[in-house]
Amino acid sequence: MKSEKPNLSAIAQALGVSVATVSNALSGKGRVSSELAERIRDTAHSLGYVPSVAGRALRTGRSGVLGLVLPDIANPLFPQIAQAIEHAASAAGYGVLIGDSRGAVEQQTQAILRLIDRGVDGIIIIPRRGTRIADIGCPVAVIDTPATPGNTVASDHWAGGEEMGRHLRVLGHRSVLILAGSALSNVQNDRVGGLRAGLGPDVRADVLWLERHAEAEGAEAPLGLAARVRQGVTAFAALSDLTAVRALTELQAAGIAVPAAASVTGFDDLIWSSVITPSLTTLRMDMGEIARQAVQALAAVIEDLPHGQVTALGTVVAERAAVPMKLMLRQSSGPCPAERELLNGDEQ
């Protein structure tokens, strides 16, 4: 026979108090002494009491669910971010529903509307290419880059790029090709700006925009990196690990050793970046901290909204926090070939 789940009545009966007192103690409302509230929480825990989501929704007018809109769930970066958001939301007492914009602004809008229709209390959005999120009818937290209007929290992409630029400059590289995705992306532009700032004025830093290259040559067309090496480029600074792997593959197929003949670096530190050969020098985002801050900021707005008015107000959270990135030094970056020859000469 299936045993019944413990409810408020069971807790009240165990302690000889009213159900209303138990409810107030567990919700933090009403006048319940701290000593009794602690006893009630301890008893609830020992009995295995789990709050009813439906019951909480009836009491508060809220669903206890957050929406998350991703720009492209097929990109391996975004499932990692989704996992971090789900963990942070769960710790804050929320569930998560996910929508995928599939790289299109119209799909992003449709995903937002579907989540609102499902009664989410608020939405975390990673916008498609830095699109501006207007008033959508419920609290919103935006994860993109500090340069994005309405951004709530994100990695400090500019500072991360600057650190990578300094790393390549110290290694002696004086001609670097930056492999960027879309010129419409605020994140990509911040990373480009940071890289150039870190490399300094004495380093040549050209940019190859892959979206434009694909439009002109085709999506599968080689990037011509071997020719760039022959022209004097000694480092390729990719703005994503996916692009870095594409560069590694093309260089290795052309017989160009990495990092002996050319260095390759990335961004994001995807799960496989440390196990490929050579392992990838890249920048790691603190996804746990980004997720925690996004959920915390969103929950603060939700909890301040009056009962029953969560989806009636369009509130954009705007704390603009920037979380530092961490440089992960691995095998794919090394001294410029000319620097290496000087170093070898000194050793001899």
**pLDDT digit string (tens) for 319-330?**
457 999 999 999
Count of other CB atoms within 10 angstroms of residue 76 = 14
Nearest residue to 47 via CA among 89, 1, 3:
3
Rounding to the nearest 10 degrees, give the CA dihedral for residues 66, 287, 274, 196.
120
Asked if residue 262 and residue 230 are part of one domain, the reply reads yes
Q: What CATH number has the domain bearing residue 81? A: 3.40.50.2300
> Quick check: is 108 in a domain?
yes
Angle at 73 between CA 113 and CA 161, to 5 degrees: 110
Q: Quote the pLDDT of residue 304.
A: 76
Identity of the highest mean pLDDT range in 18-32, 139-153, 243-257: 243-257
Angle at 21 between CA 16 and CA 22, to 5 degrees: 80
Total count of domains within the chain: 3
> Quick check: is 18 in a domain?
yes
Tens digits of per-residue pLDDT, 17-73? 988 888 778 766 667 888 888 898 899 888 888 766 545 554 556 778 999 999 888
Asked if residue 245 and residue 190 are part of one domain, the reply reads yes
> Quick check: is 233 in a domain?
yes
Tens digits of per-residue pLDDT, 201-226? 999 999 999 999 999 999 899 999 99
Q: Angle formed by the axes of helices 19-27 and 8-15, to 10°?
A: 110
> Quick check: is 228 in a domain?
yes
**Burial of 252 from C-beta contacts in 10 A (0-12 / 13-18 / 19+):** middle
Q: Quote the pLDDT of residue 235.
A: 98
Which residue range is the domain that position 234 belongs to? 157-284+328-347
Q: Quote the pLDDT of residue 341.
A: 54
Nearest residue to 118 via CA among 298, 311, 256, 321:
311
Q: Residue 140: pLDDT above 80?
A: yes
Instruction: Please state, in angstroms and rounded to a whole number, the distance separating the CA atoms of residues 173 and 11.
Output: 68
Tens digits of per-residue pLDDT, 266-319? 999 999 999 999 999 999 999 999 999 999 999 988 887 654 444 433 445 544
Confidence of residue 348 (pLDDT cuts 50, 70, 90): very low
